[in-house]
Amino acid sequence: MSHGKIHKVDLGNFSRNEIAFIGTTCHKIEDTFDEISRLLTNNKLFFIDGNHQETDREIASKLVVGDTGVHLNSNRIWSRFDYAFEANSFDLTIVNGNHFPAKNQIVFCDETKRGSLERRAPELTCVKAIVNLDGTNNVPDYIKDLVPNSTEIPVLKNIEDLAFWIKNTLLIPPALEALILTGGRSVRMGEDKSQIEYHGIPQWQYLVKCFKDLGMPVNISCREDQQENYKKSEVNLIFDRVNELGPIGGIMSAFMLDSSKAYLTIASDLPNVNSTFLSELISKRDCAANATAFANNEKGWPEPLITIWEPRSFSRIMQFIGVGNTCPRKVLMNSQIHLIEPSDNRYLLNVNHPEERDRVHLSK
């Protein structure tokens, strides 16, 4: 059977961003998770643990969220996709490596668990760091034998160092690219809104310039039958892969191409936007949210078409489509987002009709 082409996420065993703590006691692993959660309060951490019972087949029956003490207990068998769906809204999944493997590992120096670690040697596939809580850089010989590249990876001396390393190594913000949405039919305007000249050049060219002034990679979202309009743009074209869904279809198409990136989307009907205003949004980006958006104080809702959509928002968008809702504003209004106040509401002026276009021209 042939499947449609779509960017495939490396889900690991539990999530796209996971690491196992291994080499020490379950109690110490749990305490370490709690301490890290308190130190990394701006990030959302997910903890996968076992049921700590002798069973023929162990399942992850305890899922701990952050340092709130919330335990989600279940006797059902979860698939790797169930875990990925649950962990999608979190920044990092930490796994108790005494029970389950993960695609990355942090090894603790603890002689009392040496035998357990040696039995799990095949699971040490990608050790990222070693933790020695005695405050020294010493790595025991048994760990050197189990981790051949131990001299090339950091040795962390305390929980604070571990939290700092996690913050700077595993919690790096996804790359951000611009996505100019031009695929609409412009029925109300009666002409392609991306081609209207508010600044002496077509609006899409003006927006490309704004983003390039900010040093950002630029993509243009359009229908395939529009590509002639942008063939000299020297920017990447992303064709709509789901037709007639409006702006949400353009956002989906970008994520289908690469869901590891975040996209700053902007519609071509916002004539007052400039690079300074765009930089306001970028500077206040919250990578832990599904999206970062401006609040439209006049209308009382978030502005969906000048928004930073994080990779985790892709599955949220698909959930809304699954219940028949294709409105990006509804997605934002019913999701965990970071809402910011614009410096000037005039930047959010949306132009959809000829009379509105003419008033903008007169004001320039």
Residue pLDDT, tens place only, 305-339: 899 999 999 999 999 999 999 999 999 999 999 99
Q: How far apart are CA 96 and CA 90, in angstroms?
A: 17
Q: What is the pLDDT of residue 53?
A: 57
Residue 172 predicted with pLDDT over 70: yes
Residues 85 and 16 sit within 8 Å (Cβ to Cβ): no
Nearest to 209 by CA among 198, 221, 218: 218
The DSSP bridge pattern shows strands 337-340 and 291-296 to be: parallel
Identify the H or E element spanning 358: helix 354-363
Q: Which run of H or E residues covers position 27? A: helix 26-39
Backbone angles phi, psi at 272, to 5 degrees: -90, -5
For residue 1, what pLDDT band results from cuts at 50, 70 and 90?
very low
Neighbours of 76 (CB within 10 A): 8
Go through the domains of the chain in sequence order and give each one's CATH number: 18-169 (3.40.50.300), 176-363 (3.90.550.10)
Q: Minimal CA–CA distance to 97: which of 133, 74, 126, 132? A: 126
Which two structure tokens, joined as six digits, stand for 15? 């999530």
pLDDT band for 56, please (50, 70, 90 cuts): very low
* Whole-number pLDDT of residue 300: 80
Q: 182 pLDDT exceeds 70?
A: yes
Q: Is 135 left (phi over 0), alpha (psi -120 to 50) or beta?
A: left
CA within 13 Å, CB half, 176:
23
State mean pLDDT over 262-272.
93
pLDDT of 201 reads: 92
Share of the chain above pLDDT 90, in %: 60
CA distance 311 to 254: 10
Look at 360 and 254; give whichever has higher pLDDT: 254
Task: Convert the pLDDT of each residue in 110-153 to its tens digit.
Answer: 999 999 999 999 999 999 999 998 888 889 999 999 999 999 99
Give the contacts of 21 (CB within 8 A, at least 6 positions apart): 29, 32, 33, 94, 95, 96, 97, 105, 106, 108
**Residue in 220, 250, 238, 224 with CA at minimum distance from that of residue 314:** 250
Q: Given this model, what pLDDT does residue 82 score?
A: 78
Q: What's CA 302's distance to the chain center, in Å?
A: 19
User: What is the model's pLDDT at position 62?
Assistant: 54
Q: How would residue 191 be classed by pLDDT, with cut points 50, 70 and 90?
A: confident
Residue 364's identity, in one-letter code, is K
pLDDT in tens, 72-118: 545 556 777 777 777 788 899 999 999 999 999 999 999 999 999 99
Instruction: Tell me what pLDDT residue 137 has.
Output: 84
- pLDDT tier at 246 (50, 70, 90 boundaries)? confident
